[in-house]
């Protein structure tokens, strides 16, 4: 039996608090390794705006948000026109769009909980796969006709609005996890600047062409955007990712284009001294 006394000092903004914890543990070589890993996880990396602009993760995230913004615009601008083209009455469409706003709200809460638990990369991969599947099939679900067409149209629309909500939750989560909280508002704003060219291009295409009756190729194109976002997501580095170890080989490909910040904050970082007493 090994009696260990671990002295933990927590430094925060010049204040120093010391707490002594007495632990009784069986001698185990994995104990020190576990402590070391926990200590590493407590380090917070804070990129400045210029440092973020020098790393590839910023541009990967920008492109992901560019394609996802096209999908959010596609959702908000074509769903009602698509429903009318399918012969659905206005009262039904108003009801679907009203309930969609509820799913948008609930989707932000649900995806926020998922993002807190599993970081951003795993949920973002799931989002892109779900989005691609929904867009690929959205143009076909109304072809069954009758009440089934209305039901499937409503279900698919509700799910698309939850995906829209997920994008507005996971991209800020991505910005905070990769670049740290200190410059997050500025970096987050730069990432969402991708919405401007994305929505402008989409608006120009919709205004220039008559899209009525062309829903299958339009929505299959949306599925292609989601697949591109999925591929780009695989190359992101997630410092706190859960269930994404299988993507590490993709992330390592871009390591040569990554830059570490000049400083690391040690908020809530324990300094663990190796004071041990043996009986």
pLDDT tens digits, 39-74: 444 466 789 999 999 999 999 999 999 999 999 999
Q: What mean pLDDT is reported for the chain?
A: 82
Whole-number Å distance between alpha carbons of 69 and 194? 7
Model pLDDT, residue 264: 56
pLDDT tens digits, 131-189: 999 999 999 999 988 899 999 999 999 999 999 999 999 999 999 999 999 999 999 99
Within 8 A by CB and 6+ apart from 89, the residues are none
Tell me if residue 265 falls in helix, strand or coil. strand
Confidence of residue 263 (pLDDT cuts 50, 70, 90): low
CATH numbers and ranges of domains, the chain: 2-46+263-272 (no CATH), 52-257 (1.20.1250.20)
Name the β-bridge partners of 259.
none
Model pLDDT, residue 212: 79
Model pLDDT, residue 2: 40
For residue 197, pLDDT over 60 is answered with: yes
Contact 67, 233 (CB under 8 A): no
For residue 5, pLDDT over 80 is answered with: no
pLDDT tens digits, 103-124: 999 999 999 999 999 999 999 9
């Amino acid at each position: 039996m090994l009696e260990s006394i671990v002295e933990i000092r927590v430094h925060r903004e010049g204040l120093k608090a010391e707490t002594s914890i007495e632990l009784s543990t069986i001698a185990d070589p994995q104990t020190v390794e576990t402590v070391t890993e926990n200590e590493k996880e407590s380090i917070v990396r804070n990129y400045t705006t210029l440092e973020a602009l020098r790393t590839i993760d910023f541009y990967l995230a920008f492109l992901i948000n560019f394609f996802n913004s096209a999908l959010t615009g596609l959702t908000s601008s074509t769903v009602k026109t698509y429903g009318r083209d399918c012969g659905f009455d206005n009262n039904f469409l108003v009801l679907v769009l009203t309930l969609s706003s509820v799913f948008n709200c609930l989707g932000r809460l649900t995806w926020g909980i998922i993002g807190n638990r599993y970081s951003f990369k795993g949920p973002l991969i799931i989002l892109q796969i779900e989005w691609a599947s929904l867009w690929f099939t959205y143009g076909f679900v109304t072809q069954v006709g009758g009440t089934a067409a209305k039901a499937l149209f409503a279900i698919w629309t509700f799910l698309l609005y939850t995906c829209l909500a997920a994008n507005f939750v996971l991209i800020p989560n991505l910005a905070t996890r990769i670049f740290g909280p200190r410059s997050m508002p500025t970096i987050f704003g730069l990432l969402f600047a991708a919405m401007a060219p994305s929505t402008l291009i989409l608006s120009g295409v919709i205004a220039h062409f008559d899209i009525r009756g062309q829903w299958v190729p339009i929505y299959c194109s949306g599925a292609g955007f989601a697949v591109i976002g999925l591929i780009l997501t695989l190359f992101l580095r997630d410092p706190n990712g859960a269930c994404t170890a299988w993507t590490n080989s993709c992330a390592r490909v871009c390591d040569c284009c990554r830059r570490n910040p000049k400083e690391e904050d040690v908020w809530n970082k324990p300094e663990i001294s190796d004071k041990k007493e043996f009986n």
